[in-house]
A and B are shown apart, each in its own frame.
Chain A
Amino acid sequence: MVDTLSSWGRYPAFPQTPHFTHWRGDLSDDLSDLASSYGSTLPYGQGRSYGDSCFAKTDHVLQTAYLNRFISFNRETGVIVAESGVTLEQVLSLVIPCGWFLPVTPGTKFVSLGGAIANDVHGKNHHVRGTFGRHVLSFNIVRSDGQKITCSLQENSELFSATIGGLGLTGVIESVELQLIPISSSKIDSSTIRFGSLNEFFSLSDEFDSKNEYSVAWVDCHVKGSSTGRGVYMTGNHSDSGDLTVNVKRKMSVPFTFPFSAINKMSLPLLNSGYYHLHKAKPQQAVINYEPFFYPLDRIEHWNRAYGRAGFQQYQCVIPENNAESAMHELLAAIASTGSGSFLAVMKRCGDIVSPGMISFPMPGLSLALDFPQSSSLNSTLFPRFDTIVREAGGRLYPAKDAHMSGEDFRTFYPDWKKVEKLRDPALCSRFWQRVIS
């Protein structure tokens, strides 16, 4: 009845027909109805995944957007229970005034709890808190055979592990019990410093990551030679004092999809260099709101439309610690040599806290995320080049951002895929899964 849905990257184009579930009690029937009408389906949260992992094989998705009720919130212990369609934005609006915050947050607050679990998302504090799934105390999952199963580390732990990072394949998460972290203020003490090379980045990260709750870096991927890997390193911590206020800023919006990408070979070097020089060479300290620190892009609604009708792809990989520096050099050189490449390439050092998820993305090492306006050369030339570097360095790619990974690569990167496949609900399958498993 409403328009069809896409993923955040708007590539590949497989319009998804949404089927809404409104009540927890309807989930089981809705799931079996969809399965009998179309063969299979897939839960769909807020569609903030970039590629095809939130697309049903049948292009008929079970939309959880209206499963967005809270169930309980203990203001003393910071344990919140909510339906899986509740967004991180809803959670923050409720819990910040009570002195609580999300234990882990991705770079947008417009994702659902179900989606955050299914991709086992990570944030700027991966080095100290691990992934989102580590903070999930339990969840209920509904399967197409009508079963409702409670999962935690203690109870049905195998299904728990398969579902965390399980790409929505093991059942529809109905409700989630999450442990929040306490905060004294909604402000962030942030600090930024420029670095001139990858080498400098590693020294900064070695020195400061462990002393800060949050750390992340942005790299200019348009410079070659000795400045390769120059960028800005940012850290942050929840302030000790200040008020507990929810930021509600008026949003700007990209009103329509551009006919072609505004982010292109002409604009990118300027944007990158501009951003680099905006920051001072000396460390800069500031107390800022949590919104601009965590969610700078959320201020511009539909910013993905700026990439034009063809959409865009994100390339996100993680390279194990040992090979991180050399592989990152190769990747950045490969990008700079093509002159394509990304505004705001984001680098994040992931820590060694193990996730309960069987096929979670992060591993100890360096993660790099880049956006590219869609063009046919991405899949034919550029990404295969990157893939070789990642493969040889023992790294892997992030399914939440993926629209190109080969089946062979996926199965090598995530050997436990077989366990997930065994626990997969026969009524659930994504276009991504179909692509990488067969």
Chain B
Amino acid sequence: MKNVLIVGATSAIAISCARIWASEKASFFLIGRDPSKLQQTADDLKVLGATAVHTCILDLNDFNQHEEALDECFSLMDTVDITLIAHGTLPDQSECERDVAVALHEFSSNGLSVISLLTLLANRMVMQASGTIAVISSVAGDRGRPSNYLYGTAKAAVSVFCEGLRARLFKSGVHVLTIKPGFVDTPMTKGLSLPGLLVVSPEKIAQCINKGITKKSNTIYAPGFWFFIMMIIKTIPEFIFKKMNL
């Protein structure tokens, strides 16, 4: 039976993944900041078959607490088979342009907190010499767009960090998976007007993630068609790209 650590466990995408593993009787250590949502998530996973569900309330911008939370997790579980890092926010880009404090805070939520966690986590995973660290980045990290480049910057940092970490941990038997979802219908995108055809459910992303973990993929686009979309977007020369209103 799998032991699973989820950071940002009340994310819709994370919950959909957790439901798959709960039906396979996994045990969970869930980290999130909202006690009520965390409890609701834990109840659901227990009903669906989870062997055990531990919860840990933590605002991930509180870096000082990261170590303690991971200590607790690793004291409860002798090995962690899957870690999923799923927390994130979708910043208001125009606010980030007006207010440095907001910009840095959002960069912290989406970038620094992940770097802090992964650094601490990597060392523990190396000690157990097994398991997968799955990190949700985004297609937004592949290219800087005027409408959300603060978010994109943080995700780009996460993607590159994961790439380096993957190469470092490879030799010790720990796998790192980078997940780049496109548009997903979750609370994060609530109220946004997105192109309906490209929006998928969190369940669909969860299937992609689960497959990526099983197959030990390195970087996956979720769903896979985003690979082609981003391939095209990445090849647009800068002098054209900067004139496009994306």
- Report A's interface with B, CB cutoff 8 A: 1-3, 20, 22-25, 66, 69-73, 94
For window 186-228 of chain B, which residues contact chain A by CB distance below 8 Å?
186-187, 189-194, 196, 199
- B residues sitting closer than 8 Å to A (CB atoms) are 12, 36-37, 40-41, 43-44, 47-48, 185-187, 189-194, 196, 199
Complex Cα–Cα for A24 and B39 (A): 12
Partner of B196, one of A3, A22, A25: A3
Asked whether, in the complex, the Cβ of A72 is within 8 Å of the Cβ of B191, the reply is no
Which of A69, A71, A72 is most buried by chain B, counting CB atoms within 10 A of its CB?
A69
Other-chain contact of B187, A22, A72, A94 (Cβ < 8 Å): A22
Residue in chain B with minimal CB distance to A33: B191
Tell me if B36 and A72 are in contact (CB < 8 A): no
A residues in contact with B47, CB < 8 Å: 70-73, 94
* A23 proximity list for chain B (CB < 8 A): 37, 40, 187
A1 with B199, Cβ < 8 A, contacts A69-B43, A71-B44, A94-B48 known: yes
* 7 smallest beta-carbon distances between A and B, as pairs: A70-B47, A69-B44, A22-B187, A3-B196, A73-B47, A1-B194, A70-B44
CB-defined contacts of A25 to chain B, threshold 8 Å: 36-37
Bound together, the chains give a CA A117 to CA B190 distance in angstroms of 27
Q: Please, how many angstroms separate the alpha-carbon atoms of A2 and B204 in the complex?
A: 15
Hey, which chain B residues are within 8 Å of A2, CB to CB? 185, 196, 199
Q: Does A20 contact B185, Cβ atoms closer than 8 Å?
A: yes
Residues of A within 8 A of B186 (CB): 22
Give A73 to B36 CA distance when docked, in angstroms.
Answer: 19
What residues on A are CB-neighbors of B40 within 8 Å? 23-24, 69, 71
Q: How far is the CB of A18 from chain B (nearest CB, A)?
A: 10
Q: With A and B bound together, what is the CA distance between A22 and B44 in angstroms?
A: 14
Q: How far is the CA of A25 from the CA of B35 in the complex (A)?
A: 12
Least CB separation from A73: chain B residue: B47
Contact across chains for A22 and B43 when beta carbons are under 8 A apart: no
Instruction: Chain B residues near A94: list those with CB within 8 A.
Output: 47-48
Most buried by A among B37, B44, B189: B44
Q: List 10 A-B contacts (CB under 8 A).
A: A1-B191, A1-B193, A1-B194, A2-B199, A3-B196, A20-B190, A22-B12, A23-B37, A23-B187, A24-B40
Task: List A contacts of B196 (CB < 8 A).
Answer: 1-3
Provide the residues of chain A in CB contact with B43, threshold 8 Å.
69-72
- Residue of B with least CB distance to A71: B43
Name the B residues within 8 Å of A24 (CB-CB): 40
Closest to B43 in A: A71
Report the Cα distance A23→B12, complex, angstroms.
10
Contacts of B189 in A (CB 8 A): 1
CA distance A69 to B43 in the complex (A): 8
**Cβ distance B127 to chain A, nearest Cβ, rounded Å:** 35
In the bound assembly, the distance between CA atoms of A1 and B199 in angstroms comes to 8
| Complex interface: chain B residues within 8 A of A70 (CB) | 43-44, 47-48
11 extra interface residue pairs, beta carbon distance < 8 Å, beyond A22-B187, A23-B40, A70-B47 = A1-B191, A1-B194, A1-B196, A1-B199, A2-B185, A2-B196, A22-B190, A23-B187, A66-B12, A70-B43, A94-B47
B107 to chain A, nearest CB (A): 25
Most chain A beta carbons < 10 A, residue from B47, B187, B199: B47
A20–B193 Cα distance when bound, in Å, is: 13
State the CA gap A70–B186 with chains docked (Å).
18
CA distance A73 to B199 in the complex (A): 33
Cα(A22)–Cα(B11), bound, Å: 10
Distance of A1 Cα from B193 Cα, bound (Å)? 5
- Note all chain A residues with C-beta closer than 8 A to B44: 69-71
